[in-house]
């Protein structure tokens, strides 16, 4: 706590707001939404006109990654600016974030921002690890729960003993996505005259797959009009992979999230602060498209042509949609192809707001403001790393892996099986042609750098296991 207190003092002394009201920030996070779960990224089934409209007002990033293909480590990275593999005692390891870590919310709060959280937190198990203890003035339904027991009241948690959505059970009859949006709009109304940071972290579109009845029925009818090609599933040694976007309930959930964003945007416009607000929309990782051997779970979506999905280190598990609206700075209606990862939001938002960076805090994050402003070659030589010794063979079929991407090449080390795969993403984004044998020089260069990174992170390769609770 001493470190956190000292940092607050430094930040407070460094306050350097421009004349007038500072920019607001809305960080809009969707749970389990795959890269291709939007109309603008190629879906012909899901309907996301409001998200598409935001992209028209902002910049789409098509090479954006989560820091991890599951919820907890990915969310940890976004709020801390720290790679989950670096975090001893939190992040990837225990499903929590230590109270002494300085979150993005705490950094902004020290600069006079009103801070608000709504939805899924999932990076803490105790009250001193929940949003209200991590820099947020207001916490709506954020606790230890990774999913609601239901999207209709009573909400509860999907697992006994976990907390979060149940605090909203007085909102009888309302769909959870709508209730969270209502609460967010109330905060914006109340704080429109001061700079605010809204972290709206939807529980949707995570399981349970429950859409509103009218929407679900409409998408069920739509499924009947689509001529899908090939089998519904691909079957492999790692389990079952859905090949079609054909889950009507999931489509209904996606549409409700789209409506939620639309309501936020409309309220900002009504209040005259849309052009004073930075909006970043993203997902925590790829969509749930895969189930492990003999797992009969309902699957939500497909990430094709990207390979695999949630839990996996292939592109379908870690590539995420990102839209950035930064009035006066981000080019509108364009797509940029520089790579970024989850740790990068923290320093990026600070730089957008012309606040001092704190590299000793967000130590693995790199601001992508230069990329937004069009810097040629931004991040093209940067190495990106992923690591998991928490593969879930029986749940989502993923294996323990360490991964590096540098430039167009991506190397995966499945260390439990001692297997190496290498792909050229510029030619093969679907990761179908393993070049590990045909490009030995590139393989050895990337593998050497990956081993050096693993040593620096002090990770310990473990045998395959499935005994993890997030």
CATH value at residue 389: 3.30.1120.10
The pLDDT assigned to 304 comes to: 97
- Same domain? For 363 and 269 the reply is yes
| 429 in a structural domain | yes
Bridge partners for 27 per DSSP: 199, 280
Token readout for 165 is: 């959505």
The pLDDT assigned to 379 comes to: 94
Boundaries of domain holding 171? 2-372
- Rounded CA gap, 307 and 429, in Å? 8
Report whether pLDDT(469) > 70.
no
- Same domain? For 68 and 109 the reply is yes
CB 79 within 8 A of CB 97: yes
- Same domain? For 446 and 345 the reply is no
Nearest to 311 by CA among 466, 187, 185: 466
- Tell me the average pLDDT across 170-183: 88
Least reliable range by pLDDT among 151-155, 271-275, 283-287, 424-428:
151-155
Report whether pLDDT(199) > 80.
yes
The pLDDT assigned to 390 comes to: 83
| 152 in a structural domain | yes
pLDDT digits (tens, 9 = 90+) for 208-219: 999 999 999 999
| 464 in a structural domain | no
- Same domain? For 409 and 318 the reply is no
- Rounded CA gap, 166 and 154, in Å? 7
Edge-to-edge strands of the sheet including 239-242?
233-236, 239-242, 290-291
DSSP E strand boundaries for 227-288: 233-236, 239-242, 277-283
How far, rounded to the nearest angstrom, does the alpha carbon of residue 453 sit from its chain's CA centroid? 23
pLDDT digits (tens, 9 = 90+) for 102-123: 999 999 999 999 999 999 999 9
Of 372, 397, 426, the residue at which a domain comes to its end is 372
Count structural domains, the chain: 2
| 378 in a structural domain | no
How far, rounded to the nearest angstrom, does the alpha carbon of residue 19 sit from its chain's CA centroid? 33
- Same domain? For 392 and 255 the reply is no
- Tell me the average pLDDT across 265-286: 99
CA distance between the termini of the chain: 27
CB neighbour burial string for 9-24, b if at least 16 within 10 angstroms, e if fewer: eebeeeeeeeeeebbb
- Same domain? For 362 and 231 the reply is yes
CB 245 within 8 A of CB 228: no
Report whether pLDDT(3) > 50.
no
Cα angle value 237/239/241 (rounded, 5°): 120
Element containing residue 324 per DSSP (H, E) = strand 322-325
Report whether pLDDT(255) > 60.
yes
- Same domain? For 346 and 366 the reply is yes
- Same domain? For 123 and 233 the reply is yes
Percent of the chain with pLDDT over 90: 81
Residue 209's SS3 state is coil
Bridge partners for 420 per DSSP: 413
Token readout for 173 is: 């009859």
- Same domain? For 20 and 88 the reply is yes
The pLDDT assigned to 19 comes to: 45
Of 321, 345, 372, the residue at which a domain comes to its end is 372
Report whether pLDDT(253) > 80.
yes
| 463 in a structural domain | no
- Same domain? For 177 and 201 the reply is yes
Of 305, 340, 372, the residue at which a domain comes to its end is 372
| 326 in a structural domain | yes
How many CB atoms sit inside 10 A of residue 212's CB?
Answer: 19
| 465 in a structural domain | no
CATH number at residue 230: 3.40.720.10
- Tell me the average pLDDT across 379-393: 93
Least reliable range by pLDDT among 17-21, 59-63, 232-236, 294-298:
17-21
- Rounded CA gap, 93 and 73, in Å? 8
- Same domain? For 388 and 366 the reply is no
425's CB contacts (< 8 A; 6+ apart) are: 315, 405, 408, 409, 410, 431
How far, rounded to the nearest angstrom, does the alpha carbon of residue 30 sit from its chain's CA centroid? 7
| 468 in a structural domain | no
- Same domain? For 107 and 204 the reply is yes
């Amino acid at each position: 706590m001493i470190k956190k207190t000292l940092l607050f003092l430094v930040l407070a002394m460094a306050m350097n707001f421009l004349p007038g009201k500072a920019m607001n920030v809305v960080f809009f996070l969707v749970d389990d939404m795959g890269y291709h779960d939007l109309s603008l990224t190629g879906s012909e089934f899901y309907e996301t006109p409001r998200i598409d409209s935001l992209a028209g007002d902002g910049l789409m990033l098509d090479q954006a990654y989560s820091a991890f293909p599951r919820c907890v480590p990915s969310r940890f990275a976004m709020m801390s600016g720290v790679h989950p593999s670096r975090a001893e005692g939190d992040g990837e390891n225990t499903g929590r974030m230590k109270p002494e870590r300085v979150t993005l919310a705490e950094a902004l709060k020290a600069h006079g921002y009103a801070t608000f959280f709504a939805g899924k937190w999932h990076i803490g198990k105790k009250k001193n690890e929940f949003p209200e203890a991590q820099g947020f003035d207001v916490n709506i339904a954020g606790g230890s729960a990774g999913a609601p027991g239901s999207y209709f009241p009573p909400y509860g948690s999907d697992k006994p003993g976990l907390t979060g959505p149940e605090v909203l059970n007085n909102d009888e009859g309302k769909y959870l996505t709508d209730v969270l949006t209502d609460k967010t709009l109330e905060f914006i109304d109340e704080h429109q005259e001061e700079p605010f940071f809204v972290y709206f972290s939807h529980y949707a579109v995570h399981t349970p797959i429950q859409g509103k009845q009218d929407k679900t029925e409409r998408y069920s009818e739509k499924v009947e009009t689509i001529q899908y090609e090939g089998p519904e599933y691909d079957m492999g040694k790692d389990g079952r992979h859905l090949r079609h976007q054909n889950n009507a309930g999931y489509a209904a959930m996606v549409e409700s999230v789209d409506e939620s964003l639309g309501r936020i945007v409309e309220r900002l416009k009504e209040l005259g602060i849309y052009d004073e607000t930075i909006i970043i929309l993203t997902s925590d990782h790829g969509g749930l498209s895969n189930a492990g051997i003999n797992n009969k779970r309902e699957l939500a979506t497909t990430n094709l042509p990207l390979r695999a999905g949630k839990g996996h280190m292939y592109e379908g598990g870690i590539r995420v949609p990102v839209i950035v609206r930064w009035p006066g700075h981000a080019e509108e209606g364009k797509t940029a192809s520089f790579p970024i990862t989850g740790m990068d939001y923290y320093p990026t938002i600070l730089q957008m707001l012309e606040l001092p960076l704190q590299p000793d805090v967000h130590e693995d994050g790199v601001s992508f403001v230069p990329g937004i402003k069009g810097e040629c070659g931004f991040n093209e030589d940067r190495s990106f790393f992923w690591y998991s010794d928490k593969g879930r063979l029986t749940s989502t079929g993923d294996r323990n892996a360490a991964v590096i991407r540098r430039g167009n090449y991506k190397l995966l080390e499945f260390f439990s099986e001692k297997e190496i795969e290498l792909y050229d993403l510029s030619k093969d984004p679907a990761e179908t042609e393993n070049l590990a044998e045909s490009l030995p020089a590139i393989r050895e260069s990337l593998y050497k750098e990956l081993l050096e990174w693993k040593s620096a992170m002090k990770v310990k390769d473990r045998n395959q296991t499935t005994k993890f609770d997030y």
